[in-house]
Amino acid sequence: MSINIEQAIIHEISQDSQGQLSCRLRPQPLLNSNAVESMLEELHQTYTGKAGKGFGFFGTHGEDGEANPAFSNALNEYRSGELGFVEFSSAASKLLQEELAKYDFSQGGFLLMSCYTSMTSDYLFVALLNAKPSMTVLDDMELSQNNHLDLTNVQLAARIDLTEWQADKESRKYISFVRGRAGRKVADFFLDFMGCVEGVNTKAQNKTLMHAVEDFVASSELTKDERQQCRDKVFDYCSERADEGADIEVKDLADELADSGMDSFYDFACGGTYELDEEFPADKASLRTLKKFSGTGGGVTLSFDGGHLGERVIYDPISDTLLIKGVPANLKDQLDRRLKGE
């Protein structure tokens, strides 16, 4: 187990035939059985590995669109011992029910809340899970239909770093949340019920870092291979931080580069030219630009390793053309077949 579970509970928010939502509240926490431990371990690993998460904080009343402080107030009371975990989670369920009632697209779901420790941080995990039917073969070989929680397709989930929240009142990234496939607006109600305000534009920070790295190697006296080594070093460091669920620390990254003989990156990146925070979460999609060039448009999709630029792939900006030497075998086979057919 990579996590130590303190408390966990599930409440149900359901909709009746008239479209009215109601809460079915569990009166006691879940027992820390093997099933609960396995479920939360799977959710923790899945959530930590999810790319493209957003980051925010508890907004105060009147800030950024009248953020509702009810959830954070109840969480404060739980952490201070004024509320028990069951009472806190029940209050959260009712807040979510009230928020869901404002929309006509929701049918409810199962609200899972769990406090646990991972590494040196305490977390509160909050997720609205759906149930989907499945078939089971019984001992007598009869089929039985059951509902089970869909843990592989979690779209409404957030995790609060309780340690960071209480240690750094100025932090704007102690809440992480899953961005919906259709963008954040689909999940707005889930953030609103917690009073969460987006605080860090992770993609923008990562793209700014990538620009700083490219400008840094372009202004240096490094060879072509040394420049690619610098990019690889940045990619490896940032990817490792992403896998660990830890922030990119620009000073730490600069020290890594300095160990490889590439000095002064910290002064270069944080000297005022770039609007770069000292630390921010990693975004794997943005990091890929250090390794690959890719693009899609006008019915053409291209992707190639960055190390091939100037060698197997020649770019001429004046004529707006790419020359590819050594066409991939499977693509060459398709092209040859098409030419023979014509």
Q: What average pLDDT does range 103-115 have in this prediction?
A: 83
Query: What are the residue ranges spanned by the domains of the chain?
Result: 3-200, 203-289, 291-341
Contact by Cβ (8 Å): 245, 55 = no
**Confidence at residue 183, expressed as pLDDT on a 0 to 100 scale:** 47
Q: Is the pLDDT of residue 184 over 50?
A: no
DSSP string of 138-158, one letter each residue: -TTS-EEEEEEE--S---SEE
Q: What are the pLDDT digits (tens) for 127-146?
A: 998 877 777 787 877 887 77
pLDDT band at 335 (very low <50, low <70, confident <90, very high): confident
Q: What are the pLDDT digits (tens) for 32-49?
A: 789 999 999 999 988 988
Q: What are the pLDDT digits (tens) for 205-247?
A: 999 999 999 998 888 888 888 888 888 999 999 999 888 878 8
Quote the CA–CA distance of 26 and 7 in Å, as a whole number.
13
* Token reading at 181: 């496939």
Q: Which letter, b or e, does each residue of 254-289 get, where b requires 16 or more Cβ atoms within 10 Å of its Cβ?
A: bebbeeeebeebbebbbeeeeebbebbbbbbebbbb
Bridge-based pairing state of the strands 109-118 and 121-129: antiparallel
**Confidence at residue 180, expressed as pLDDT on a 0 to 100 scale:** 64
Contact by Cβ (8 Å): 279, 248 = yes
**What is the pTM assigned to this prediction?**
0.77
pLDDT band at 285 (very low <50, low <70, confident <90, very high): confident
295 Cβ contact partners less than 8 Å away, ≥ 6 residues apart:
301, 302, 303
pLDDT band at 169 (very low <50, low <70, confident <90, very high): confident
Instruction: Please report, as a single letter, which amino acid is at residue 43.
Output: L
- Residue spans of beta strands (DSSP E) within 65-142: 109-118, 121-129, 131-137
